[in-house]
Structure 1
Amino acid sequence: MFDQTELKSKLRAISESTAAHHVLDIVESNLRRMGATHVLITGLPMPNRPIDSLVQRFRWPDQRNDGIESTSLSANDSALMLGLASDRAMTWTISAGDMEHSDLLAAAGEGSQIVVIPVTELYPFQAFVYASGPALQPTKWELSALEVLSSAAFSRLRDLGVISGQRPGALSTRERKVLELTAFGKTAGEIAEVLDISQRTVHAHLQNASVKLNASNKTHTVVEALRYGQIRV
C-alpha cells in the first residue's frame, strides 16, 4: 500500500515522463506490488470496431496454457463490457460462470480477483485498466489511488500524442448534440429549431448514430451513447 506522499511522487513521475513506456511502467509496477499477475491497459473501441490500436499494455498469462502470455484480445470480450457497468473502480472474484463468457477471465483463472479501473476524464475517449491475480485485494484507498494514477497516466499518454481524444466510429459533434437533446426529451422538431437544421437532418443524425452504436431504436441509441461516453447528461 502506498501513502499520499508516495502517490504524489508517482503522479509527478508520470507528469515528467517523456516516453509512453515509462508512464505504463509506473502503473503496472503499482499493480504488481498489490499482487497483480495480469495487467491490461487499454482504450475501449466503439461497437463493432477492433481494439488492437487502442491497447497500450497487454500482459495476460493464460493459466489454461501453462502461463504463456495471451497475444490476442477480442473487443467483444464480456469482461470489457463489464467495465462499462460503472464509472468507479470495482473488484470481484472470477467464477466458473464468468469464465464461460470471457477469454480474459478464463485466462486469469477461477478464484482470481479482478480489478477494473475506468478512466472517464478524457471524454469522449474511454479507457480502462484491468488487473487480476489470486492475491490482488486492494483496499478502498488503494482503489481510489489507482483511479487517480490511471487517469493521470492516460492524460499523459494523450499529451505525448500516443492516444487521441477520438476513436474510430465515434459520433460526430453534431450527432452527439442531437442525442444529448434527445436524452433531455426534445422532439425532432424542437432539436431542429435549436440547432437551426431541418427535421430530416435531425433524423439522419439519429440514424447515423444508431448505426455506429449498433442500436435498435432511438432509446437504445441514447443508452449506448451514454455507456460509450459519447454524450453526457
Structure 2
Amino acid sequence: MDKLEELKELIIKNVEQLNEDVVIELAQKALDAGIEPLSLLEIINEGMNKVGLLYAKKDYYIADLIMAGIIFKEVLTLDKMTMHFHSEYNSKVGKVVLGTVQGDIHDIGKDIFKGMLETNGFKVIDLGVDVSKEVFTQKVIENKPDIVGLSGVLTYTIEPMKEIVDALVEAGIRDQVKVIIGANHINIDTCKYIGADGFANDASAGTKICLEWMNK
C-alpha cells in the first residue's frame, strides 16, 4: 500500500471514529501531499457513509451524526479547500435551490450536500429546514435555478416532496428545472412516485448527478 492510499484509509477510519483533530490534521497532510480537494471530499464522504451505517445500526446517535457534519464543515474551511473553491470557479457551474422539506428539521445531509455542490462550483440558495411547498415554489420563481434539491431524513417526507413537485407543475415551472431528492430511504420507485428527475442516498452521488445534468 502506497503512502497516499494509507493516508486515505486513515482519514476514512478517523472520520468513522469521529476523531475531529486527527481528521483535520490528516486532511491537511493529504492536501499538502497533492491530493485534489475534490478527491479529499470523496474520501471524507466515504467515512461519513460509515458513520451513517453505524447510526442506522443504532451504534451511533444523532449527536454522532452532528459531530460528523461538523468535521466535514471544518475540512471545507482548510486554506487549500477554500482557495480551490474561490479560484477554480469564477463563473458558476449552475444554480441550485436547496432545502429540507416541510415536517423535517434535519440539516446534516443537506449541509454536506451544499458543501459538496459549492466546492464543485455551484451557487446554492439554501432555504433551510421545514420548508413549505409555497416557499420552494416562490424561491424557484425568484431565483430561476437549474436544479431544485429536496432533502428529507424521515420516511414521511416522501409526501411533502411530491407536493413540492406538484406545486412546481401547477406554477408552470416544472419543465424549467431538474429536481433531485436526497435521503437514505429513497429508491427508484419513490423517485418516480414523487416525480423527481433523480435521487441520491449520499451527497457525493447527488453532486455527480447535478454535474452530469449541467454538462448536458
Larger proportion of helix: 2
TM-score w.r.t. length of structure 2? 0.29
Q: Radius of gyration: which is bigger?
A: 1
TM-score (norm 1): 0.28
